Amino acid sequence: MPMTIESIIERLGGAEQAAKLAGVSTEAIRKWRQARAIPPKHWTTVLRATGLSLSDLQPDTESDRPEPPMSTSNPIAPAERPKAATAALILADGTILWGRGFGAYSTERALGEICFSTGMTGYQETLTDPSFAGQIITFTFPHIGNTGTTPEDDEATTINARALVVKEDLTAPANWRATESLDAWLRAQNVPGICGIDTRAITRRIREGGPQTAIVAYPADGKFDLPALLAKARAWPGLEGMDLAREVTCAKPYGWSEGVWQWPHGTEALPAKRRKVVAVDYGAKRNILRCLASAGCDVTVVPATTTAEEILALDPAGVFLSNGPGDPAATATYAVPAIKGVLEAGKPVFGICLGHQLLALALGAKTYKLARGHRGANQPVKDLETGKVEITSQNHGFAVDDKSLPTDVRATHTSLFDGSNEGIATSRYPAFSVQYHPEASPGPSDSHYLFRRFVDLIDTTTKTA
């Protein structure tokens, strides 16, 4: 029978002694009492100090007490699964975290690299962003679902993330634009989720130990084969060396004329523009295409594997290299020759995210995998040429190595979080790129100048040609 919080605190020697043992304030102990639950990160300390068992800290589902987050830092047997648990998050290091499932029952798709995103809004855009292919997203913001979903906010035709992890139960939609709840939307797209998880603990684990593989199990029959699930997580090769752009790119070329969302009309097709731009789709977000159209571009989107000859045959005034998932060094095998051909033809080039990394590789630089990655909003980036700081949205697990930049390529932007490269430009060609997402508008308009810079570069190059 689980013990009450009061009994546990008494065993620890009272509130002040409990706070001292856990390394927290007495205010935190008050919150334990208020929530009637001890955060899982303190369970090891409590168990060691009191001699209690893990079952003593588990919720009694027959009572009216709220349940603590259902997690543990060590593998546990199915018999120790909390009564209310319907799903599990299994990490490759052997960690089992129990929770409540939502969305679709889990499939083979719910396996990938677990990461965290710090955005407080935009969960639908995050889930549909092709750059999240092969990844399980942990949202650090606890209340997910409150704006529902709407087709207008999709960044691609399908959800590209493999699963999502949240702390609280999904919030019911309370937004006039919502056409469907998040839960129903996930079920329709066969994507599972899990709630009741200590997302702060996951975030700390990734920050301290780096990314790892995980799998979300939400079986329809409620049965968990934990050894098999753990083996599957450990067998997944990881994103390094993986080319995912082929999986998310378009099947054939298409035109794009829709502009950015405007009140009260939403998104609408724009009149034909004079700047013909070819956008290479490595996993392009729709809002990037909208921003290009709104900046005055007539956009034609082509698949990731399109060659330089095929791109140039469309006679573009400029070429855009899109965002996308996976290891840039793997995608570079076919992307870099095409980019080099476009550069040699003198076409203005603008890249974002994976497109930035691929441009750097084409110019002779190198990329590497970040220890934690940058995902979410409110990430400060300094423009080295103007000294201004932009508040940006980011989603990348790889970066360009500043030390590898050739002498005719300069760093233009840097992360104020970790000093990693966030932008480059070259004096050899009319080309530049940034690592972050100017179209995502966390600033909200801090980085929109980049689209204007691209069309200005096109206009200047066209006049001097």
353 included as an active-site residue:
yes
AA letter at 322: S
The pTM assigned to this predicted structure is: 0.81
Quick one: pLDDT at residue 406? 98
> 149 pairs with which residues across the strands?
180
Determine the Cα–Cα distance for residues 411 and 401; give it in Å rounded to an integer: 10
Angle between helices 354-362 and 328-344 in degrees, nearest 10: 60
C-alpha distances out from residue 353 to 67, 161, 294, 429, 432, Å: 40, 17, 20, 19, 12
Q: Which residue has the tokens 């100048």?
A: 449
Which DSSP category does 44 fall into?
H
Whether 436 contacts 381, CB under 8 Å: yes
Which DSSP category does 9 fall into?
H
- Burial of residue 465 (CB within 10 Å: 0-12, 13-18, 19+) is exposed
Q: Which residues contact 20 (CB under 8 A, 6 or more apart)?
A: none
> 29 pairs with which residues across the strands?
none
Quick one: pLDDT at residue 81? 84
Measured in degrees and rounded to the nearest 5, phi and psi for residue 320 equal -110, 135
User: Does CATH number 3.30.1330.60 belong to domain 245-464?
Assistant: no
Strand order in the sheet with 409-415: 254-256, 297-303, 275-281, 318-321, 349-352, 431-434, 421-426, 409-415, 367-383, 389-400
324 is in an annotated binding site: yes
Which DSSP category does 428 fall into?
T
Catalytic, out of 42, 155, 439, 448: 439
Quick one: pLDDT at residue 78? 41
Quick one: pLDDT at residue 268? 66
Catalytic, out of 353, 374, 396, 413: 353
Low-confidence ranges of the chain (pLDDT < 50): 1, 59-79
Quick one: pLDDT at residue 65? 35
> 277 pairs with which residues across the strands?
299, 318
Give the domain ranges of the chain. Answer: 1-57, 69-235, 245-464
> 292 pairs with which residues across the strands?
none
Quick one: pLDDT at residue 2? 59
395 is in an annotated binding site: yes
Determine the Cα–Cα distance for residues 216 and 197; give it in Å rounded to an integer: 12
Q: Can you name the CATH fold of 69-235?
A: Glucose Oxidase; domain 1 (3.50.30)
Measured in degrees and rounded to the nearest 5, phi and psi for residue 2 equal -60, 145
Measured in degrees and rounded to the nearest 5, phi and psi for residue 235 equal -85, -20
Quick one: pLDDT at residue 54? 66
354 is in an annotated binding site: yes
Q: Which residues contact 265 (CB under 8 A, 6 or more apart)?
A: none
Q: What is the CATH number of domain 1-57?
A: 1.10.260.40
404 is in an annotated binding site: no
Quick one: pLDDT at residue 120? 85
C-alpha distances out from residue 93 to 233, 268, 372, 445, Å: 9, 48, 16, 41
Catalytic, out of 42, 356, 413, 437: 437
Determine the Cα–Cα distance for residues 146 and 235; give it in Å rounded to an integer: 36
80 included as an active-site residue:
no
